[in-house]
Amino acid sequence: MERERVDQGIARRSARIYVPISVTAALLFIITANVVGGYPLVARVGGAVWVGMLSLIVSMPLVTARLKRNARQDLGA
């Protein structure tokens, strides 16, 4: 029971970290594509979705593993 609550807390905290990372990456892509210019709207939006999804895929396991490791150290200490 305690373990499940800890895992749920880790999942919530990690989502509050990796979702903004992905959204920020997508927004940076949109801004960069607008500054550089010359790209149609569908390419900018499609690229932003692609970058957002890829950064979500990459950051999710990294952030979750880091939070789990920190939680184990806190419980063990």
CA distance 14 to 21: 11
pLDDT (tens digit per residue) in 19-47: 999 999 999 999 999 999 889 999 999 99
Give the position of tokens 């957002």. Answer: 52
* Predicted TM-score of the model (pTM): 0.85
Residue type (1 letter), 23: V
CA distance 65 to 62: 5
For the chain, the domains span 2-76
Contact 20, 65 (CB under 8 A): no
18 CB-contact burial (10 Å; exposed 0-12 / middle 13-18 / buried 19+): buried
